Structure formats: structure tokens, C-alpha cells
Amino acid sequence: MTPSALAPLATGQPNPVATRNAYGDALVELGGERDDIFVLDADLSGSTKTKAFGQAYPDRFLNLGVAEANMIGTAAGLAAQGKTVFASSFAMFAAGKAWEQIRQSVCVPELSVKVCATHAGLTVGEDGKSHQMLEDITLMRVLPKMRVLVPADAVEARLAIRAAAATPGPFYVRLSRAATPVVLSEDYEFVLGRGALLREGKDLAIIACGVEVAQALAAATRLAADGIEARVINMASIDPIDAEMILDAAAECGAILTAEEHQIRGGLGDAVAQVLARNLPCPLEMVGLDDSFGQSGTAEELLAFYGLDATGIAARARDLLQRKA
């Protein structure tokens, strides 16, 4: 895929789907294809959508109860015996409570444990700050050997899960609770380590991941109404990241705005900033949370309040353009 090739977008108005649902479907699909796939959960299988796999393949499903550290350790033991293991909980508990076990028992021995964490970010909504995991990309991308994927929609979530299953070693896949727009068409191809160009533009580039991709596309439409042409890049593969696509955007657009449902410290924005600072510095702004936790509310209310919706992204884009030489 060259930077000039646009990824195929969904046409019409597909019904919104949560990426966790696509995850559950992908597991059942994989379970039928491969008998080395095990799925583990920590008493949230209805919410993480691993339950369907458990019903289809009960001999390869383990519910470890409310004990995430032990779930990751158990996953590591299964993987050390040759299994490919998907381990799920809410992002808060998978990446937060079990970080040390993910480091010591999964990443150090480089085992095929795929931590698939749902209910990430603000769009968890009403459960509030205790459940709105906004630090997991940071915690996972800092780990050696760990690959970090944040799919934009249900189409990409399925492909990301299949890529994780097909690639040996540790993965972290970040998934959402809320039904979100389907952005990509069914013939979209996901490539590990590659971004996807969704909209061409030369005034600035918006690099987004997860639920922010749909918001970035909507922001680009609004900016276009004012004659601002924003390139939109979906960077689902945060580690490994597509440095080439980032640097092309910097060279051709001269200004970059990142957007993520996450703290700006250590997340996608930070990963993009590292690529730029070491190669081709250019004006950069980051949409995300800045030294703040979330709060209860609907997903829409929260994205708007923290400036993560299309309106917020478009406003930050206009600010950024002021800095462009």
C-alpha cells in the first residue's frame, strides 16, 4: 500500500457495531479453524463477548473468575505448552491490574498471549472514571515485544484479531463497549505495521485510532466546508507503527493532529511525536485527555466535553493551522 492509495470506506449507512462484538465473532470463527486456540476470561465473558466461544468450544474456554493476574499467568502457562491464547477482561483490569504479569510472564518469555481488552476509553460511559481506561496504550506500548492494535471499527477489529492469531508473540488489542460507526468496507485489508489512508488532503493530517477515526473523518468533512483539506490516517497499528506514512504526511501536509480516546501522554500522540521528533519535526497537536480522568455520562456527552468529537477535533485543527509556517 503506498501513501497515495486510499483504503476502501464503507458505503451507505451501515448500522453501528461495537468492536467487542466483532471480537466475539472472530473468536468463534478462529475456534473453528484452529484447535490450538484457547480463550480465557475473568468473569466478564458476557460483556467481552468471549461467551460465544465458550459455548461453541467449552473445552478450550476457561473462566478464571475475578482474578486478572492469575488469568494472565494461566494464559502464559497454556502458551508455554504451545497454545495460542486470547485473554479478555475490561481494559482497566487487563492492562491495569495485570500489567506486571503481562510483562513478566508474557512479554519476557515472548509467548503467544493475545490480551484483548474491551470497554476501553471514555465511551464506556456511565460507569465513570473507575472503568474508563485511558492509560492502557501507554502501559502496553512501552513493553518490549508487545504489539498494540487499536482497531477503528468492527471490520478492522475482526482483521486485527485474525492478525494477532496468525502472528506469534504477545499482542494487546484495544476494543470498545459502545456501538460505533462502521468506517471501513468489507474488502479493507489490515496489514500489521501499516496505517490506512482514509482521506487525501494537503493542509494538515489527522492521525487517529479507535473510535476517533470516525470522528476524524467527520471533522475533515466540516473542515472541507471551510476550504481546509485534511488528510485522515487510521493508525490502528500503534506498535509497530507506520513511520513511513507519518513522515510522508509530515512532508506533504506540514502539520499533524493526533486523535485518541486516551491520555495524550504515552499514547498514539506520543508515538507519532517520537517518529516526528527523531526524523522530521513539524507542528503537532494532540487530541486526547491531558492530565485528567473521565466521569459518568453518555459516550457522546463525554467525547464532546473532552474535545474528542468531530467539533473538538476540527477546532484543534484550526488552531494547529495557525502554527503552520
Partner 1 sequence: MALSSERRSELQGIATQVRRDILTMVHAAGCGHPGGPLGMADFMTVLFCEHLRLDPTCLHAPDRDRFILSNGHTCAGYYSLLAIKGIIPREELVRFRKFGSPLQGHPHRNPDLGIDFSTGSLGNGVSVATGMAIAARANGWDSQIYCTSSDGESEEGQIWEAATSAAHYGVGNLTVLVDFNDVQIDGHMHDVMNVRDLAQKYEAFGWHAVRIDGHDLDAVDDALHEAKAERYRPSAIICRTVIGKGVSFMEDQPGWHGVAPNDEQYAQAMAELGETAAS
When the beta carbons of 55 and 104 are compared against partner 1, the nearer one is: 104
**Smallest gap from residue 86 Cβ to partner 1 (A):** 13
CB 285 within 8 A of CB 257: yes
Report the catalytic residues. 68
Does 95 interact with partner 1 (rule: CB under 8 A)? no
Q: Which of residues 26, 37, 52, 79 is near partner 1 by CB under 8 A?
A: 79
Q: Which of residues 4, 5, 13, 82 is near partner 1 by CB under 8 A?
A: 82
When the beta carbons of 65 and 168 are compared against partner 1, the nearer one is: 65
Cell 459518568: give the residue: 296
3-state DSSP helix/strand/coil % of the chain, to nearest 5: 40, 20, 40
Does 100 interact with partner 1 (rule: CB under 8 A)? yes
Q: Which of residues 55, 104, 130, 274 is near partner 1 by CB under 8 A?
A: 104
Q: Count residues near partner 1 (CB under 8 A).
A: 27
CB 249 within 8 A of CB 242: no
**Smallest gap from residue 111 Cβ to partner 1 (A):** 9
35-74 positions binding partner 1, by CB under 8 A = 38, 59-60, 62, 64-65, 67, 69-70, 72-74
**Smallest gap from residue 41 Cβ to partner 1 (A):** 12
How far lies 146's CA from each of 36, 83, 112, 271, in Å? 21, 18, 10, 14
Using the contact rule CB under 8 A, the part of the chain among 47-55, 102-110, 173-181, 197-205 near partner 1 is 102-110
Does 108 interact with partner 1 (rule: CB under 8 A)? yes
Report the distance separating Cα 8 and Cα 78, nearest Å. Answer: 38
197-216 positions binding partner 1, by CB under 8 A = none
DSSP run (H or E) holding 275: helix 268-279
Beta strand ranges found along 7-111 (DSSP E): 37-41, 61-63, 84-90
Does 101 interact with partner 1 (rule: CB under 8 A)? yes
Please, is 218 exposed, middle or buried when counting C-beta atoms within 10 Å of its C-beta (0-12, 13-18, 19+)?
middle
Beta strand ranges found along the chain (DSSP E): 37-41, 61-63, 84-90, 113-118, 147-149, 171-174, 196-199, 204-208, 230-234, 237-239, 256-263, 284-289
Cell 466535553: give the residue: 305
**Smallest gap from residue 226 Cβ to partner 1 (A):** 54
Which grid coordinates are listed for 58?
Answer: 467449552
**Smallest gap from residue 99 Cβ to partner 1 (A):** 12
When the beta carbons of 87 and 310 are compared against partner 1, the nearer one is: 87
Which grid coordinates are listed for 203?
Answer: 493542509
Does 16 interact with partner 1 (rule: CB under 8 A)? no
Applying CB under 8 A, the residues found at the interface with partner 1 are 38, 59-60, 62, 64-65, 67, 69-70, 72-83, 100-101, 104-105, 108-109
